[in-house]
A and B are shown apart, each in its own frame.
Chain A
């Protein structure tokens, strides 16, 4: 961590001094707090890389970025946020991956008059009654991808799903989201332990339950474990889940066990738009790997900020907010706009895991939800 931070710091110093050398007013300082070390680092690194790629491609020297590693710990995220607000005096904050960290940082940051642009976490508490004029989510509300999975389950004719998710707020949001759209019966509903790595007991219950399909939300390593064990168990039911267990970063670790699995996402690398094609190509050229949905979200977050910078001064909060809300940037997702609670109104797709040469990746097979508004938008009023 130390070594990487040093490199990062050096890079940033170069970046920052280039910005300062220019020296005129109108510089926008963005504070990015994200997870760059420990178990969940892949997600934060993708968001950072996507964000910095957009900044580099725009070549706008008025955008200055400070990056810090939260180590996936809420208390560290809070300390970093205080530091960014008080001593770095950032204008905009972004970067947080995990909902529990977002809940610890976002309300305090927006209360102190800072913009917060979420490139990932979208807890329901911040989308409904707890919404804030300075809080924008450029990814999704937590429930959305699960709602898309529920809608897909209906289309696929599943009538008896077995559903499972970890026992924490985003896991509860996930099962709620799936059930909101899914019209069939439940063969079983299980909350697993957060961070659980052995799913033999759950898989045995799935086998005994008489279900016709399985929905699971197990992000990161949990999903890798589940899929590998599921493939070895001889249970043959179709599986559906949100994109979080099938993103580019972890598919290679799951291997053949993921092939053919349907998952739902707001983005995929084969989405047909010039902005997306440019993004995928530039990301591969810059980092030598395929982008994940997290990278696409980081990229869009940066482009959203850049689009607002073109139209308004960040010191004029009302004008800048209106410029952000207009969302006039070329999203890699194609159609993109904000709803009344400043969360995305966007399309969701069903993807299938395929193998391209030696690389496991996703391809879009159908649309799931169109111009979908999250369920909490109506509760939000400023």
Chain B
């Protein structure tokens, strides 16, 4: 395998990683601050993508579509927090899983009811269509570079938000002691709604960004949700830094595993058998990574014990 191809695959892994980060950041914030397992996070991702597709279809503007995805997902997040999730904070995790699973079904079938059963069209803006030439002669799709840039910007913004702002202080305080922060006069329920909407908006943004190069269809969120859970378990639940590191690790492992493992088995096996064994093992690679991390750090890389 040439160095250029390897660099290109590393970029692919990075791009996949930052996309996972957008999903995992919201999930880990919600779990960290409120102690809630939100299975419906994938539905918020789907809502973002559908809102973007609808607005892009009506206006033709990709920027408006991205704004719509943020707004729609944040609004949906705030509404379900106010109507459903709020009643679940004091219940155990099983009740939360059941209720948020019900939300998945409601959102999936509701979306199908509104938009129909067939996938929607959402394309990348013309200005970003096609590849750009990177130094060293690598052709790489411009849009994927944009995803990497947006993901890193969002990560930077989140770190600033958590570390430098008053809201960030409240979020961190909420993570370590919920009763105390309420006793100090912070409106905890408003904080919860805000955090939930923020997490939802990030998921919606991820859905819109990715929807443009994948398919916008009902059920698109659930496979990503599973990966996002893997990411936050690896990174340590509640840690934004852990979510970023975990997401990049998972992205790189998944991409490079799929590329390198079949080649590795090909050195001593017959070609089509090597492809089969290599790709099967590659699909397991991130779970093996997760098991390995948990073996040595049971609370994840940046988790607090």
Residues of A within 8 A of B (CB): 1-4, 37-39, 41-42, 45, 167, 189-193, 195, 197-198, 200-201, 204-205, 207-208, 220-222, 224-225, 228-229, 231-234, 249-250, 252-257
Contacts and interface: CB of A to CB of B under 8 A. Distances in A.
B15 interface: yes
A191 B278 CA distance: 9
Those 4 A-B pairs whose CB atoms lie nearest each other, nearest first = A224-B215, A39-B219, A234-B131, A253-B119
A113 B15 CA distance: 53
Interface residues of B, number: 51
B133 to A, nearest CB: 9
A214 to B, nearest CB: 16
B113 A253 contact: no
Nearest to B280: A167
B120 interface: yes
Contact of B255 (A4, A191, A195, A201): A201
B15 A200 contact: yes
B259 A42 contact: no
A229 B109 contact: no
B276 interface: yes
B215 A232 contact: no
Nearest to B2: A208
Nearest to A247: B118
Interface in B183-231: 210, 212-220, 223
Identify whether the interface residues of A are mostly helix, strand, loop, or mixed. helix
A253 B121 contact: yes
Nearest to B120: A253
Nearest to A1: B109
B119 A200 contact: no
B129 interface: yes
Interface string B144-177: 1000000000000000000000000000000000
Contact of B139 (A193, A225, A234): A234
Nearest to B212: A228
Interface of B: 1-2, 4-5, 8-9, 12, 15-16, 105, 108-109, 112-113, 117-121, 123-124, 129-131, 139, 141, 143-144, 210, 212-220, 223, 255, 258-259, 262, 271-272, 275-276, 279-280, 282-283
30 contacts: A1-B105, A3-B109, A4-B109, A4-B113, A41-B112, A41-B117, A42-B118, A45-B117, A167-B276, A190-B262, A190-B279, A193-B282, A197-B214, A200-B255, A201-B9, A201-B258, A204-B5, A220-B217, A221-B119, A224-B119, A224-B214, A224-B217, A228-B214, A232-B129, A249-B117, A252-B121, A253-B118, A253-B120, A253-B121, A255-B121
B279 A38 contact: no
Contacts of B144: 200
Contact of B275 (A1, A191, A249): A191
A253 B220 CA distance: 14
B111 to A, nearest CB: 11
Contacts of B258: 192-193, 201
Given A224-B214, A252-B118, 11 more contacts: A38-B108, A42-B117, A192-B279, A193-B283, A220-B215, A229-B214, A232-B143, A250-B215, A253-B119, A253-B121, A253-B215
